[in-house]
Amino acid sequence: QKEVEQNSGPLSVPEGAIASLNCTYSDRGSQSFFWYRQYSGKSPELIMSIYSNGDKEDGRFTAQLNKASQYVSLLIRDSQPSDSATYLCAVNKGFSGGYNKLIFGAGTRLAVHP
């Protein structure tokens, strides 16, 4: 079992729809969770971070975390063609003391069509 799992996609949604991206993780001790967007040929760009159970909203993006189910999701409302990219879920396996070690899922490719 991979430590962080995502559907590879592609996830195809029409412009203006809600895109729902999902991620599960295996280590119950994981403490922080991130979503990155990566355009082809570019480096990952942080779009959301979430640390506690529940929802966190930032503009058109909402991250949801359920630690009991070991599940993280990202909702993109009013999807635009410019949202077409690979979305990477990352989990921080850092130890107490502030270590930083991100474990990434394989990424979900999102395609928003006009």
Partner 1 sequence: KAGVTQTPRYLIKTRGQQVTLSCSPISGHRSVSWYQQTPGQGLQFLFEYFSETQRNKGNFPGRFSGRQFSNSRSEMNVSTLELGDSALYLCASSPPGENTEAFFGQGTRLTVV
Interacting residues with partner 1 (CB under 8 A): 31-32, 34, 36, 42-46, 49, 51, 88, 90, 92, 94, 96-107
Largest CA distance in the chain: 47
* Closest to partner 1 by CB, 62 or 93: 93
Burial 67-105 (b: 16+ CB within 10 A, else e): eeebebbbbbeebeeebbbbbbbbbbbeeeeeeeebbbb
Nearer to partner 1, 64 or 105 (CB): 105
Supply the minimum distance, in Å, between the C-beta of residue 109 and partner 1.
12
Three-class SS state of 82: helix
Q: Which is nearer to partner 1, 75 or 103 (CB)?
A: 103
Quote the least distance from Cβ 15 to partner 1, whole Å.
Answer: 28
CB of 78 to partner 1, least distance (A): 25
Nearest-approach distance from CB 114 to partner 1, in angstroms: 28
Q: Which is nearer to partner 1, 98 or 114 (CB)?
A: 98
Enumerate residues 6+ apart whose C-beta is below 8 A from 72.
22, 23, 24, 25, 33, 35, 50, 63, 64, 65, 66, 89, 91
